[in-house]
């Protein structure tokens, strides 16, 4: 069973970059703002464990574990007036696929790969710093 498809690369890259930047901001904020705080290697090790936990939870979700959640009710949007603008996607053959457009099992796979990449990055950083 092959889960990965070529159109899933864009959501994986976007999710990985976003989570990596947020984790780096956390690492730098704790390092700079906490006086006599933990060493950067310890913060990177903490982030490694955190991403390992996230990856494990996504793996359990892929295996069939579901956690009941409260349904978020979105407020209704007003219709935007018709605008005569053109987007770049009007001129391409394939429209870019976002994370919301994926199937649930594809979303889980993208999240698992993203967490695994970030886990590896911070594991390496915890040994370097």
Q: Is residue 107 part of a domain?
A: yes
Instruction: Report, as an integer, the average pLDDT of 12-37.
Output: 92
Residue 120, domain member (yes or no):
yes
Cβ distance 44 to 27 under 8 Å? yes
Domain that holds residue 51: 1-64+99-129
**12 located within any domain:** yes
* Token code pair at residue 32: 């700079």
Tell me the per-residue pLDDT of 32-82, one tens digit each, with 9 for 90 and over: 998 888 898 999 999 999 999 999 999 998 888 777 776 777 777 666 666
Cα 83 to its chain centre, rounded Å, is 32
User: 47 lies in a domain?
Assistant: yes
Query: Is the residue at 112 inside a domain?
Result: yes
Does residue 1 have a pLDDT over 60? no
The answer to whether residue 80 is domain-embedded is: no
Distance from C-alpha of 110 to C-alpha of 16, rounded to nearest angstrom: 9
Q: Are 3 and 109 in contact (CB under 8 A)?
A: yes
Is 70 a domain residue? no
Number of domains in the chain: 1
pTM: 0.73
Rg of the chain in Å (alpha carbons): 19
Assigned domain for 88 exists: no
CA distance 120 to 126: 10
pLDDT tier at 103, thresholds 50, 70, 90: confident
């Amino acid at each position: 069973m092959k889960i990965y498809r070529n159109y899933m690369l864009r959501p994986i890259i976007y999710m990985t970059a976003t989570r990596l930047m947020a984790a780096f901001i956390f690492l730098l904020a704790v390092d700079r703002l906490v006086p006599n705080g933990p060493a950067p290697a310890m913060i990177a090790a903490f982030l490694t464990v955190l991403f390992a936990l996230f990856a494990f939870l996504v793996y359990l979700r892929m295996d069939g574990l579901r956690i009941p959640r409260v349904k978020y009710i979105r407020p209704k949007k007003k219709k935007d007036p018709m605008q005569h603008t053109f987007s770049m996607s009007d001129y391409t053959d394939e429209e870019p696929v976002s994370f919301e457009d994926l199937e649930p099992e594809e979303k889980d796979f993208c999240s698992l790969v993203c967490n695994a990449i970030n886990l590896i990055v911070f594991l390496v950083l915890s040994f370097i710093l």
